[in-house]
Structure 1
Amino acid sequence: MEAGALMMEEREIVVVGAGPAGLSAALEAARTGAQVLLVDENGKPGGQLFKQIHKFFGSKDHRAGVRGIDIGTQLLEEAQNLQIEVWLDAEVCGIFNQQDVWIVRNKEKSVTVRAQRIILATGAVENSVNFPGWTLPGVMGAGAAQTMINLHRVLPGEKCLMVGSGNVGIIVSYQLLQAGAEVKAVVEAAPRLGGYGVHTAKVRRAGVPFYTSHTVLEARGTDHVESATIVQIDEKWKPIPGTEKDLDVDTICIAAGLTPLVELAFAAGCEPLYSPLLGGMVPKHEPTMQTSIPSVYIAGDISGVEEASTAMEEGRMAGLSAAYSLGYVSDGIYSDGYEAALKRMLALRSGMFGQKRRDAKAAIFAQNRG
């Protein structure tokens, strides 16, 4: 299909991605009176929130004690009340001339939407780990396993090995246990566990063994995973002979971090930069979430991999900033709203885990000033 021959429509703000960041951005912009179109390639909005059946923690401002799936439901109800236009099963294939969003709806109808402002909330993709047998059916990302059990009510396997002890690996391990699977072990290549203690403790209490300084050496099977070997590694990340352990598993879940989904932003011409603490290459952006292209804003994991609560705050900042740039809010209202979101954001980016992300963001903003 030729982009130049597409049907043309116009909207004030187009938000790409209806996960926690995109929903929050659309809501914030719509509250100001701006015309918002929210686009998502999936058949249901909400993104990661509807896979998160555990309760959030932190403060009341961050919806502590509320399950992710309930937060998603609340956001969707708010979007309906504000009459936000939503296109589902709609793939954004490109952004041209810094304002033309090429969208294929239901895999059959192409439309170009000319937007005055674009907010990209495209999320992130799971990282893989390569080892002999890693292409066997039964080896999958932890997020894929979470999708199967929490959205589709399908158990990915009965005997699981989790690779990675960060929050995703630990939370999904616990949810696998809740769904009736046996988690044979959690292995972590680093010398210490990576997730929050509140999550790790629940899995430990269930009797799941943890192996730090370990990785997967090999997966074996004919047409699916039938067993796996883990091995201890030294300070140079090399396997230590004689430390191999064979595990009877039919599923291996990989929780090795996420990489921001930046292809759409970079194809549009957004200037890139590298932030290892935030997942790799991200679009260069201001504290307002505006990129090097004045009409394009970002929010959530595309701007650096963090938590769902952080993604929602960035979405609010991006939505408010985009609406402000179009003249929908006064200087005072914008300043008050932005500062409130920033205060909540800084609370999230504190402590042992959060401070590193705060520093990484500060480094990005410093490059802009430079």
Structure 2
Amino acid sequence: METDLLIIGGGPAGLSAAYEPARHGLKVTIVDESLRLGGQLNQQSQVLDLPSGFAKQTGMKLSQFLQDRLLNYDVDLLTKCTMIGTYKDGRIGVTNGNTTFPIQSQKTIITTGAAEDSISFPGWTLPGVMTIGAAQILLNREKVLPGKKAIVLGTNNLAFEITKQLNESGVEVIAIIEQESTVDVDADNIAYLKQANIPIYVNSSITRARGPGEVEMVLINNNGTEVAFDVDLVCIAGGLFPILEPFQVLGCELIYLSELGGWLPKYDTNFETSIPNTYVAGNAAGITAMKAIMLTGDLAGISILDSLENYNSDYVKKRKESLWTELAKAEQPEVWSARLSLIKEFELERKYVTSNR
């Protein structure tokens, strides 16, 4: 196969990245390992805060909208396909499980997103212990209640949002467990927890989950005091980290920044990595909120146009400036600062290497 732009990952960042190049006449191919495009949007029933030009809507509705707006353009959608390697001539190797085939592209954007981190404790492999994201998939995509009584281990805004969904769907959330002494989440979520009478145990940790074949009881250490909960569901909210396999296969330079979720590829202001013509966007470029995920996708897509000839340079320049301005407002200060630091350091490194050749 030959294409102008190959996008690895069909979630919100990949679908956003495809729009401007496709709208301006490029042939775009999107590869995603799932049966459906949209990624995590497909199980997000909450209303999302989105970039300018988008009405507030659920992730499920947004997934369909992002796909529908590509229908009139030259976009190939390869679902149930996975990138597994590269050929010596630079082509990307993709498999559908039965056949492996090469794709030749001028440009590549990798938007593989993030994976959930876990927290281990004695009994954490029992049925009934799962990540908070897995609980959301069961609840919203599979339409199955993951349990009757639950506790949530870990705190962040996503975990609180899913806690709300669980509670309103009939799962009784008994408590939230946090090992730190403070909880850093927005006021609306805190207000909801108080109204729903869901306590937060700070300075606490799970010491053991018990049950003969599945979770029936969880013991926690709360400031040195043991507390027992009769529950059949434990949702672990251990945070997210960027998925790196495609970048490692390609040989991209990596950097560790805890503010952006851990290890991730280095990239410049165009979101181009250390491998020429290979770009990154979304959570793979640093863990962030949905608005910023889409904006980084837009920036990578518009940067593709900026790198090619015969495109409206004035439009591209103004569009990039507006996207960067909006991204600066959308991100948490520590995330924004870490992103700028990454870009500045990488561009200085590249400039030094170029000048000393």
| Superposed pair shares fold, TM > 0.5 | yes
Which AA in structure 2 matches 1:222? P
Aligned residues: CA RMSD: 1.6
Instruction: Please tell me whether residue 172 in structure 1 is matched to residue 162 in structure 2.
Output: yes
Deviation at 1:232, TM superposition (A): 2.5
Instruction: Please tell me whether residue 13 in structure 1 is matched to residue 11 in structure 2.
Output: no
Alignment map for 1:205-284 (pairs within 5 Å): 205-232=195-222, 240=224, 243-284=225-266
Equivalence for 1:364: 342
Deviation at 1:62, TM superposition (A): 6.8
Equivalence for 2:352: none
Equivalence for 2:34: 42
Q: 1:306-327, CA deviations, whole angstroms, 9 ceiling, x for partnerless residues?
A: 1111110000011111232232
- Are the counterparts in 2 of residues 98 and 296 from structure 1 also a CA contact under 8 Å? no
In structure 2, the CA distance between the partners of 1:212 and 1:64, relative to structure 1 (3 Å rule), is farther
Deviation at 1:98, TM superposition (A): 7.8
* Greater alpha carbon shift after TM alignment, 334-343 vs 64-73: 64-73
In structure 2, the CA distance between the partners of 1:77 and 1:68, relative to structure 1 (3 Å rule), is same
Q: Secondary structure at the match of 1:80?
A: coil
Which AA in structure 2 matches 1:33? G
Q: 1:211-244, CA deviations, whole angstroms, 9 ceiling, x for partnerless residues?
A: 11212111111211111011135xxxxxx3xx11
TM-score for both structures, normalised by structure 1: 0.90
Equivalence for 1:82: 73
Aligned length: 348
Instruction: Please tell me whether residue 143 in structure 1 is matched to residue 133 in structure 2.
Output: yes
Which AA in structure 2 matches 1:91? T
d(CA) in 1 for partners of 2:61, 2:275: 35
Which AA in structure 2 matches 1:361? R
Q: Secondary structure at the match of 1:92?
A: strand
Equivalence for 1:339: 321
Q: Secondary structure at the match of 2:151?
A: strand
Equivalence for 1:52: 44
- Are the counterparts in 2 of residues 37 and 85 from structure 1 also a CA contact under 8 Å? yes
- Are the counterparts in 2 of residues 49 and 68 from structure 1 also a CA contact under 8 Å? yes
Deviation at 1:284, TM superposition (A): 0.3
- Are the counterparts in 1 of residues 147 and 233 from structure 2 also a CA contact under 8 Å? yes
Q: Secondary structure at the match of 1:130?
A: coil
- Are the counterparts in 2 of residues 32 and 328 from structure 1 also a CA contact under 8 Å? no
Equivalence for 1:310: 292
* Greater alpha carbon shift after TM alignment, 207-216 vs 283-292: 207-216
Q: Secondary structure at the match of 2:52?
A: helix
Instruction: Please tell me whether residue 33 in structure 1 is matched to residue 29 in structure 2.
Output: no
Q: 1:107-145, CA deviations, whole angstroms, 9 ceiling, x for partnerless residues?
A: 112111011111000011100111100111111110111
> Which 5+ residue runs of structure 2 have no aligned equivalent?
349-357
Alignment map for 1:94-243 (pairs within 5 Å): 94-97=85-88, 99-105=90-96, 107-232=97-222, 240=224, 243=225
Deviation at 1:96, TM superposition (A): 4.0
Deviation at 1:200, TM superposition (A): 2.9
- Are the counterparts in 2 of residues 55 and 64 from structure 1 also a CA contact under 8 Å? no
d(CA) in 2 for partners of 1:259, 1:80: 32
- Are the counterparts in 2 of residues 160 and 183 from structure 1 also a CA contact under 8 Å? yes
Which AA in structure 1 matches 2:95? V
Which AA in structure 2 matches 1:101? I
- Are the counterparts in 2 of residues 99 and 295 from structure 1 also a CA contact under 8 Å? no
Equivalence for 1:72: 63
- Are the counterparts in 1 of residues 28 and 74 from structure 2 also a CA contact under 8 Å? no
Deviation at 1:267, TM superposition (A): 1.7
Q: Secondary structure at the match of 1:85?
A: strand
In structure 2, the CA distance between the partners of 1:64 and 1:77, relative to structure 1 (3 Å rule), is closer
Q: Secondary structure at the match of 1:244?
A: strand
> Which 5+ residue runs of structure 1 have no aligned equivalent?
1-8, 234-239
TM-score for both structures, normalised by structure 2: 0.94
In structure 2, the CA distance between the partners of 1:97 and 1:179, relative to structure 1 (3 Å rule), is farther
Deviation at 1:56, TM superposition (A): 1.9
- Are the counterparts in 1 of residues 26 and 74 from structure 2 also a CA contact under 8 Å? no
- Are the counterparts in 2 of residues 51 and 147 from structure 1 also a CA contact under 8 Å? yes
